[in-house]
Structure 1
Amino acid sequence: MRVLQLIDSLDAGGAERIAVSYANALADKIVFSALIATRKEGQLYDQLSENVTYLFLNKKKAVDFGAVLRLRKFIIKNQVAIIHAHGSSFFTAVLTKLILPKIKIIWHDHYGARSTQSRKKNQVLIFCSFFFSSIFVVNLQLKEWSKNNMFCKKVIFVPNFASMRDESKKITNLKGVENKRIVFLANLKNPKNHIAILKAFYDLKIKDLGWTLHLIGKDYEDDYSQVLKDFIKSNFLENHIHLYGSRSDIQYILSQATVGVLASTNEGFPVTLLEYALASLPVISTNVGYCSEIINDGVNGLLFDPLNESQVKKSLKKIIGDEPFRKMIAENFKQTVIKNYSKEIVVEKLMAEYKK
């Protein structure tokens, strides 16, 4: 089996991390595993296994024939049979199939918000789906959407898997007091909804109890992040809420944390939750996307409606105020993830689907 993971960038986003994880995991299982970034490289390049063949296409525009020809040459040279295209990279994959008809395209949808979007907003994707052999989705809402809207009707739910990363890196030292750190691992952009957690942190006066909040994720220096910075400054929270930007030593960061949070208004299947679990962190999470399938409220985590401020505050208050409860749900969550979302289980499913 010879498979290529195709992704538009190697920035530290959810789809990008899954593409890298798949390429790495398959390198030990199949004859040839490759990853190609089409438009942009990024920090995830450092996490690629030395057994994964890598190429950067340096695509400059939507229809870049030079990039397509470089991809075609790579496929022919390495006898690639399957392009596993993640997210928006489907367009490059389809352009390649037009000049290399025998290549098989599997498209992987990681974008949770698509399940609420119209056909009109996805016209190009829907047209291109005519060329897909199958579609992988990360939650059941996306599965329903694809079955109802796409030309390709072979739609398979494939869960993301847990895989801790950057095992040797110890770079980022979190500020604040040990055993009182809340970590929020998400790039600073919609629909991650950081402001909901910032408001709850402030309203509950958590800083007075010695707790700190740590935002780990890319800062796009836009209106979204400015709102967060203005809130922190206007409420004199500079010594209690800390922004670190994009970081590569996530495992080390999580080892210093006490609680993990996620507050998105839309989600697919957040890898962040799996990483929190493997780091033995108790979690409070939004109930959107696949989150409520992973988390059993009150048993292995706490769920809230991300648009309901009182629910957000109730969950945050409960988890910081009850240490035995934190320990119980953290262990339960870790066992849930190891049992159901391990690399071995998901990769076996992936390979079985490739063979069909």
Structure 2
Amino acid sequence: MRVLQLIDSLNAGGAERVAVNLANALSNKIEASFLCATRKEGLLKENLSNTVNYLFLNKTKTVDVGAIKRLNKFIKENKIQIIHAHSTSFFLAAIMKLFNRDISIIWHDHYGNSDFLQNRKFDTLKFCSKYFSHIFSVNRSLEAWAKQKLKIKAVSYLPNFAIMNKTLAVTDLKYLSGKRIVCLANLRPQKDHFTLLNAFKKVVELYPDWTLHCVGEDFNDDYSKSVKNKIDELDLNDSVSIYGSKSDVFNILSQCEIGILSSKSEGLPLALLEYGLSNLAVISTKVGECETLITNNDNGLLVEATKPDELSKAISLYIENVELRHTHASNYNKHILKNYSEKVQLQTILKTYINCIS
């Protein structure tokens, strides 16, 4: 079996990490594993195994004839049987189907705003979906939406899985060890850093030694500027650090005590899986599939979205109750290892691949 993971970039986002994880994990389980970044390379290129065959297209527009020809040549030369297209790369995958009728296309829907599906524009996706053999959806809402809206019935829910690179260690977090909170989220409105900052302001007034570490892509846009202005406004410059995108995620998480997400909307966030693998106590808003990952008051804490008071109380609870924090972290780690492991998800993926090509 010869499978190509197709992704727009190798920036350190959730869909990108899934594509790289899949390419790496499959490289010793199938005949040949490939990955193509269509528009942009990024930090995750460092995490790509040397057993994965890699192509960078440098695609510069929606219909880039040169990129289409290069990818088509790559597919034919390498006798690729399946294109596993992630997020918006479905359009290029559909074009490849026109030139390679025997190829199977699997689309992986990582749509993060699944709590606001009524606003999703999907005319192009609907048209392209007739060329898909299967759709993987990262949460149940997306699965139901695809079955209802798209021209394909072969749709299934596929939880994400995380693989942590434990060899990279280049980032040293600031401030006092043992009192760090981490938010692993790109600086995008969906992630709602404002609720997090307002909550943390209340926390730091009670526990001034605790610090917040925000790790994720900084797009240097209006949202990013607003977040930084909010840090200034709340006088949190000595308690909050923004690091940008980093490749040594496990190393960073191993320096923290609490992992947090304050999102307005999510699919199945890879960050929560990575928190679990790193044995952190977790706090998340009740969005997307977060409630299937975290059982409140058993292995983590859940709060309503856009409620800074609730979030600050949850953080304070973990700070004040070290034993509870450690118990929840241990329970959550076991839950993630049991239910969201690489082994379990690969079995499902490989079975789907076989069905598609047979």
TM-score grouping bracket, smaller chain normalisation: over 0.9
Assess if the C-alpha contact under 8 Å between 2:8 and 2:37 holds in 1.
yes
Query: C-alpha separation between the residues in 2 aligned to 1:235 and 1:325?
Result: 29
Q: Deviations over 1:205-234 (max 9, x none)?
A: 346431000111111111111122112112
Taking a change above 3 Å as real, the CA distance of residues 231 and 89 of structure 1, as seen in their structure-2 partners, is same
1:10-159 matched pairs, under 5 angstroms: 10-114=10-114, 116-118=116-118, 121-159=121-159
- Asked if 1:285 is matched to 2:294, the reply is no
Taking a change above 3 Å as real, the CA distance of residues 97 and 287 of structure 1, as seen in their structure-2 partners, is same
Taking a change above 3 Å as real, the CA distance of residues 120 and 27 of structure 1, as seen in their structure-2 partners, is closer
Shift of 1:66: 1.4
Query: C-alpha separation between the residues in 1 aligned to 2:146 and 2:16?
Result: 21
Amino acid at match of 1:51: T
Q: Deviations over 1:248-282 (max 9, x none)?
A: 11111111101100111111111111111111100
Match of 1:112, SS? coil
2:293 is aligned to 294
Deviates further, 346-355 or 107-116: 107-116
Assess if the C-alpha contact under 8 Å between 2:115 and 2:287 holds in 1.
no
Assess if the C-alpha contact under 8 Å between 1:115 and 1:145 holds in 2.
no
Assess if the C-alpha contact under 8 Å between 2:162 and 2:273 holds in 1.
yes
2:162 is aligned to 162
Assess if the C-alpha contact under 8 Å between 1:137 and 1:143 holds in 2.
yes
1:174-185 matched pairs, under 5 angstroms: 174-185=173-184
Amino acid at match of 2:286: N
- Asked if 1:313 is matched to 2:320, the reply is no
Query: C-alpha separation between the residues in 1 aligned to 2:86 and 2:23?
Result: 12
Query: C-alpha separation between the residues in 2 aligned to 1:115 and 1:355?
Result: 32
Query: C-alpha separation between the residues in 1 aligned to 2:178 and 2:308?
Result: 25
CA RMSD of aligned residues (A): 1.3
TM-score normalised by L of structure 1: 0.97
Amino acid at match of 2:76: I
2:5 is aligned to 5
Match of 1:117, SS? helix
1:186 is aligned to 185
Query: C-alpha separation between the residues in 2 aligned to 1:180 and 1:297?
Result: 22
Amino acid at match of 1:149: K
Amino acid at match of 2:282: V
Query: C-alpha separation between the residues in 1 aligned to 2:204 and 2:164?
Result: 33
Assess if the C-alpha contact under 8 Å between 2:3 and 2:84 holds in 1.
yes
Shift of 1:120: 7.1
Taking a change above 3 Å as real, the CA distance of residues 103 and 239 of structure 1, as seen in their structure-2 partners, is same
Q: Deviations over 1:73-115 (max 9, x none)?
A: 1111111100000000000001111122211100000013146
Amino acid at match of 2:247: S
Structure 1 consecutive aligned stretches of length 4 or more whose deviation exceeds 6 Å: none
Shift of 1:308: 2.3
Q: Please, which runs of 5 or more residues in structure 1 have no aligned partner?
A: none
Amino acid at match of 1:20: V
Query: C-alpha separation between the residues in 2 aligned to 1:320 and 1:306?
Result: 21
Shift of 1:119: 8.0
Assess if the C-alpha contact under 8 Å between 1:119 and 1:149 holds in 2.
no
Taking a change above 3 Å as real, the CA distance of residues 258 and 115 of structure 1, as seen in their structure-2 partners, is closer
Query: C-alpha separation between the residues in 1 aligned to 2:221 and 2:314?
Result: 29
Query: C-alpha separation between the residues in 1 aligned to 2:295 and 2:349?
Result: 26
Assess if the C-alpha contact under 8 Å between 1:112 and 1:142 holds in 2.
no
Identical positions, percent? 47
The number of residue pairs the alignment matches comes to: 355
Match of 1:96, SS? helix
